[in-house]
Structure 1
Amino acid sequence: MMQVDLHGGFGEKGRTSVAIRGNDGHVLLDVGIKVGASGREYYPAIDGAGDIQALLLSHAHEDHVGALSWLLAEGYRGPIFMTEETLEEAPATLAHYADRSQLKQFPLPRDRVQLFKPGETLTVGDLTIRTGRSGHVVGGVWFAVGNGNETIVYSADVLPDSKVFVMDPIPACDLLILDASYGADPVSSETRGDEIAAWIAGHPGGCLLPTPLFGRSLELLAVMPDRFAIHASMRQALASQIEAREALQPEIIATLVQKLAAAIDWHDGEPLPECPLLADDGMGTAGPSAKLIPLADASDYPVLLTGHLPASSPGDVLYRKGRAAWIRMPTHPTLSGNVGIWQKAGEPPTLGHSCTLPTLEELGRHICSLRTDVRTGQSLTLREGKIT
C-alpha cells in the first residue's frame, strides 16, 4: 500500500508538489510556488514538513522548486535530492520567487544536497525511486516510486517529442501522475516552432521574445533566424545547457552551438535591436524581461509570448491589451504525447497535474482512466492496483 498526498498542482496550475508514503518511507516530490497567488495559496498545502524523510526535486522551475525556503522555514530538515544542473539553476529561481526574508534565513542548504544523475535509482526507507530524463530541461527528471509491489510514476514536467531534449521512456506503473499542462492541445511542437519562425519573419524590424532562462530558451534558440540577439546575461546559462550533451538530442547540438555563437549580446540601456531579442523570464515577473516588457510596450515594439501566462502577470496584461501576440512553444506534452505516455505505462489509473479543471476534463475525453475529481489537499491510497 502507498498513500499519495496531493499538495499542489491539482485542479490548478502552479505550486506543484506530491508526497508518497510507504510503510517505512515518506518522500516529497517537488515544492513549487503558484505565480499570481498570494498568502497561503502561494505555497503547497503541506502540514507537518518535519515528517518528510526526503525531498526530491525534478527541476528548477519556479512551480517545482520556488517554495524550498518556505519548506525549510516550516521545519523540513532532511536531505534534498537533485541533479547537478538543478542545483546550478535553483538559486536564481529562488532569488526571483522565494520570500526574501525566508530566503535570507533559509537559503539552499548545499550541505544537505545529495546529487544524482538521471537514470540512477534512489532509496528512502522502503521506497525505491527510479529516475529518467524528462525532455523538458537540462537535468530535469521524472520519478517512478515503488514499494516492491506497486509503482507510482510522477512525470513532473516532460516533453516526449522535444527536438532539443531527450526524454527517457516512462515505465509501466499502477498509478500515473501525468503532466497535463496543455490538456488536449493537438498541435505538435514542430508545428508551433514553424509558426513562431513565421511570426518572427513577419516582424523584420525587431521583436521581443520573453522566455524562461532554462528549458524553453533552447527550444526557441533552435528556431531563431540567422540574425538575432539575446540579453547578455543569458549567454553563460545558455552555454552551460548546451554543454550538457547527454540531455540533448545529438542532431541538434551543432545547431545550438552555432546559433549561440552567432547571437548578438544586447545590454540594458541600448536601443531595442532590429532583430528578434530573447530575454528571461517568460512571464515578465522577473529577470531582464520585467523591464523589457514595459519598455517594448512604451516603444510599440512587437512582443511574442510563447508560454504560460499567469493571470495579471506582466505578459498576461500586455496580451490582454492586444499589445502582444501569443504562440505556445510546447515544453509539455500535447495530446499525442500524453496519450502515448499513458498507453506505454499500461493505461493505468491516471491523475493530471499542472492544469485547471476544464483543461483536465478535455484531456479526460481521450484518456479514459484519467481522474478529474481530485484536487490539491486530497489524499489517495493505492492498494492492489486500486485507487481509493
Structure 2
Amino acid sequence: MMLDLLGGFGEKGRTSLAVSSGKDRILLDVGIKVGASGADYYPALDGSVADIDALFVSHAHEDHIGALSWLLSRGYAGPIFMTAETRDEAPATLAGYAEPEDFRRFPFPEDRVELFEPGDTLDSGNLTIRTGRSGHVVGGVWFAVEDGESRVAYSADVVPDSNVFVMDTIPHCDLLVLDASYGADPVPGAARAREISQWVARHSGGCLLPTPLSGRSLELIAALPGPFAIHAGMRSSLEAQIGATAALLPGVSTLLRRRLQDAADWTDADPLPSMPLLADDGMGEAGPSSRLLPRADHSGFPVLLTGHLPSGSPGDLLHKAGRADWVRMPTHPTLSGNVDIWEKAGRPAALGHSCTPDLLGDLQTHIPSLRTQCRTGQRIVVSEARKR
C-alpha cells in the first residue's frame, strides 16, 4: 500500500491524500489552501485523474472539500462518498472557496454522491474503508483503509475531547495520519472555553465572534455565558446539527436546542447588537463575516477570533493590527488527545497533517514514531514506514 501526500503535509490547508494498492487508488479529501494562489491553492495532484477510482470526503470545511469543482474540471468522473450532512453543507463551501468559473461549470454534483453514515464500512476495489465519528462536526468522519496486508488510518479533523461531539476510537493500524493542527499544545478545550466565556463577559456591550457554520459554532454556543445573537442565515443549519443527536454527547442536544431557541436572529440590515453575535465564516473570507468584520472594525465593535487565521486573511490582518483578539477554541486535538489516539492505535508509525514543521517537531517529543520530514508531494510506502 502507498500514500501520495497531496496536501496538508508541512503546511496547513489543501488537505488531501491518495491511497493505492495494486491497481486500486482512492482519494481522501480534496481541500484548498486559504491564502495561497495558483497551483499551491489546490492539492498537488499532477497529471491525469483517470486512475482515481473513488473520492471519500471527511467533512465540508474548505480545506477538505474546497477543491472539488477543480477536481471535476480536471475530468474526475468517479463516485463521491460522503455523509448526508457533508452533502448538505458542501455547496455553500464551494460557492465561497471554489474558483468561480470552475464552480459555474462544475457545481456540486449531488447526483454522483454516494451517502454513508459514520460507522459504515465501504469498499472500493480491493480496498476496505472503515469510518467513524470525528468529534469535529456533525457528519464528520475519519477513515481507516486496508488492503488485506496493511491498514492506514487517516484522522482528517478530529476532536477527542470535544465538549459537544462524539469521537469514535481509531483502530489499530500500521500507519496513522494524525490531525496535528495544534502541534503539542497542552491546553485542553475546557480551559479554552472558560477563557472565551470570560472574554465575552468582559465585553458585555456586544461583540462579534466569526465562526465556521458547522462544528465550532456549537462549541461556542455551549461556552457562551449568557444571551447571544446569530446571523439569521445560520439558524436552519444549526437546528439541523443539534437535531443530529447521534453525533452529540449525551444531554448536549437538549442544552444546545434551548440555547438556540433563546438566541436572537440578526440580519445585515440591523444595528450591531448589544450581545455576542455569531456569524459565519471564521476567517472573514466568505459568508456574513466577510461583511461584518469591516463593519465591526469601523464601528469599534469588539471582535474575538477563535480559530485558524491563514496569513493575509481578513481575520489575520485585523488581529495583526491589534483590532481583534484571538483565543483558540480547540476543534482539533490538543497534546493529550493526539497521544491518546496514537496509543489506542497501537503506537504505529505516524505522520502529521495540517501542521507546520516546527510544531511537528514539538509533537514528536511526545510521539516518537512521528515522521516530521514528510511533505506535500512525497510518496510513502506503508511497509517501509512500518519498519522504522
- TM-score, shorter chain, exceeding 0.5: yes
What code does the residue aligned with 1:141 have?
V
Q: Secondary structure at the match of 1:383?
A: helix
Partner of 1:245: 245
Superposition RMSD in Å: 1.0
Partner of 1:33: 32
Partner of 1:255: 255
Percent identity at matched positions? 64
Partner of 2:236: 236
Residue 7 in structure 1 maps to residue 6 in structure 2: yes
Q: Distance in 1 between matches of 2:95 and 2:225?
A: 32
What code does the residue aligned with 1:44 have?
P
Q: How far has the Cα of 1:387 moved from its partner?
A: 6.0
Contact kept? 2:134, 2:166, Cα under 8 Å:
yes
Contact kept? 1:15, 1:63, Cα under 8 Å:
yes
What code does the residue aligned with 1:344 have?
K
Partner of 1:374: 374
Partner of 1:85: 85
Superimposed CA distance per residue, residues 147-188 of structure 1 (whole angstroms, 9 cap, x where no aligned partner) = 112100000000000110100000000000000000000000
Q: Distance in 1 between matches of 2:64 and 2:195?
A: 29
Partner of 2:324: 324
Give runs of ≥4 in structure 1 deviating > 4 Å.
none
Q: Secondary structure at the match of 1:152?
A: strand
Q: Distance in 2 between matches of 1:16 and 1:327?
A: 24
Q: Distance in 2 between matches of 1:208 and 1:108?
A: 31
Partner of 1:24: 23
Partner of 1:220: 220
Q: How far has the Cα of 1:383 moved from its partner?
A: 2.0
Q: How far has the Cα of 1:226 moved from its partner?
A: 2.7
Length-normalised TM-score, structure 1: 0.98
Residue pairs, 1:68-217, within 5 angstroms? 68-217=68-217
Q: How far has the Cα of 1:269 moved from its partner?
A: 2.1
Length-normalised TM-score, structure 2: 0.98
Q: How far has the Cα of 1:362 moved from its partner?
A: 1.0
Q: How far has the Cα of 1:225 moved from its partner?
A: 2.6
Q: Secondary structure at the match of 2:223?
A: coil
Contact kept? 2:221, 2:259, Cα under 8 Å:
yes
Q: Distance in 2 between matches of 1:368 and 1:76?
A: 38
Q: Secondary structure at the match of 2:347?
A: coil
Q: Distance in 1 between matches of 2:166 and 2:176?
A: 20
Q: Distance in 2 between matches of 1:264 and 1:111?
A: 36
Contact kept? 1:150, 1:385, Cα under 8 Å:
no
Contact kept? 1:380, 1:387, Cα under 8 Å:
no
Q: Distance in 2 between matches of 1:215 and 1:289?
A: 16
For structure 1, the residue ranges without an aligned partner over 5 or more in a row are none
For structure 2, the residue ranges without an aligned partner over 5 or more in a row are none
Q: Distance in 2 between matches of 1:343 and 1:251?
A: 29
What code does the residue aligned with 2:195 have?
E
Partner of 2:283: 283
Q: Distance in 2 between matches of 1:116 and 1:377?
A: 30
What code does the residue aligned with 1:146 have?
E
Q: Distance in 2 between matches of 1:366 and 1:333?
A: 14
Q: Distance in 2 between matches of 1:119 and 1:25?
A: 23
Q: Distance in 1 between matches of 2:351 and 2:200?
A: 37
Q: Distance in 2 between matches of 1:386 and 1:354?
A: 22
Q: Distance in 2 between matches of 1:256 and 1:386?
A: 43
Moved more, 345-354 or 107-116: 107-116
Q: Secondary structure at the match of 2:50?
A: helix
What code does the residue aligned with 1:42 have?
Y
Residue pairs, 1:295-310, within 5 angstroms? 295-310=295-310
Residue pairs, 1:316-355, within 5 angstroms? 316-355=316-355
